[in-house]
Amino acid sequence: MPHILIIDDEEPIAWALRRAFEREQYRVGVAANAEDGLVQARKQSPDVVFLDVRLPGMDGLTALGELRRIAPNAAIVVITAHGNLNTAVKAVEGGAFDYLSKPFELAQAIETAKRAMTRNVQAPSNSATRSLAGESDIDLSPDAIIGRSPAIQTVFKRIALVAPTAVCVLITGESGTGKELVARAIHAHSPRRNKLFLPVHIAALNPNLIESELFGHAKGAFTGADKQRDGLITLANGGTIFLDELADIPLPVQAKLLRVLERQEVIPVGSGESQPVNVRIVSATHADLTTAVREGRFRHDLFYRLNTYPIHLPPLRDRIEDIPALGQHFLRKFDVANPAAILSADTIAFLASRPWPGNIRELRNALEHAAIQARGGALRPEHFPEPAAFAGPANTPERLRSLVTEWVREQAARSNNEPSDLHQKLLDVVEAALLDEVMRLLDGNRLAAGRWLGLARATVRKMIRKYHPLVDEPDSEE
């Protein structure tokens, strides 16, 4: 019978987990502190450990290393209500199997335990268990990515998992959600941290010279090319290049970028010789690349290479509970002496009720405006600028209705006021977006996606084949 050890000083959580696992026919042990948990682990090595971070006495992250030594085959699931990016990174670097943020559903904990039971057991390598604080000069104070909401905790976890690797990452999300911050965090926690991080905003490059800017050019390649010049990708050799506004890359340039990914080499404009490069590509876009692929505006093979590991950033309206922490963070940057004192409960409630189409960037600008108006005093609603005229409806169903209205009018204009098949066209757009988002949230688990969508797994499979015909995956529950 599998053995699960729960180390958590919050009695209601420990009790609920114990009851849930016992119903699944697991043998369960419970400890209220790390010291007692280590004693239990020595007596009988558990299969899975659910380990809280904040514990009386020894903290969970310190206990993680001891548990790895005492029970090297146990899967350790770190759980916390107070995590930031550094917590997630330390957990992953310490050899944790998974990372759960409180509050979480009992079903999620059970599914995590079942995955842990069927994993390929491997003793952690030395590199996986080293403390970051001991091996580099990274500042492990709370990162500039602020928040404790479940939405941003998911982002922390994905950053921590992908940072030590060399795979491509595609960061998506609305404008102003902090995509470059995430790219910088991935680089800062990667083995390339001591090399260059080079941000490139594609939309800011000269459209006529974008190929030369990225890949370089040989002397005499075009008028004005009086000497050889290395491109941005070559300059980032050994480090990380961040390609922002990915959808703006022209198709001919996309083909050359694919060559960089497949062959790790660049060919400068006007040159027949390739140059080897070792660069990690992190990219970002607020555009819908899946639509661009279907319409032929973006190469499907490049999309799949760049989208090896996607990270989606939630809009501010989906993480309203992070506004107080974000507010205090920005006010400290504005050199306000006591940010907590000038952000009253009424002001926080006011900020939570506003639409934020510009997301965190708009919040920061609004707070800076209010701080100037308040002249050092408490911030009140009248100190903030009026919402932008394009803010649109704050309520999600209203936003959807507004978008549908715009879409119908656009279709009518394109077809001289006589559109056809509107229902099917809208269904294709909405159904594809719904499928993509649910599959992203569930890490591709088709069985779970079927439950969320209220559809049979066979139907989900048909939808995937319809909207992603090039994806050929085994139909598994994992």
Q: What is the DSSP letter of 98?
A: E
Separation CA 151–CA 180 (nearest Å): 18
Separation CA 99–CA 136 (nearest Å): 23
- For residue 130, pLDDT over 90 is answered with no
Q: What is the number of other CB atoms lying within 10 angstroms of the CB of residue 298?
A: 22
Name, of 103-107, 178-182, 291-295, 399-403, the range with top average pLDDT.
178-182
- For residue 230, pLDDT over 50 is answered with yes
- Cα 84 from chain centroid? 13
Torsion, Cα 149 155 157 162, to 10 degrees, reads -170
Q: What is the pLDDT of residue 457?
A: 82
- For residue 80, pLDDT over 90 is answered with no
Strand residue runs (E) in 144-239: 169-172, 197-201, 216-217, 229-230
What pLDDT band is residue 129 in, cutting at 50, 70 and 90? very low
Over residues 250-275, the pLDDT tens digits come to 998 999 999 899 999 988 887 778 88
Over residues 9-58, the pLDDT tens digits come to 999 999 999 999 999 999 999 999 999 999 999 988 899 999 999 999 99
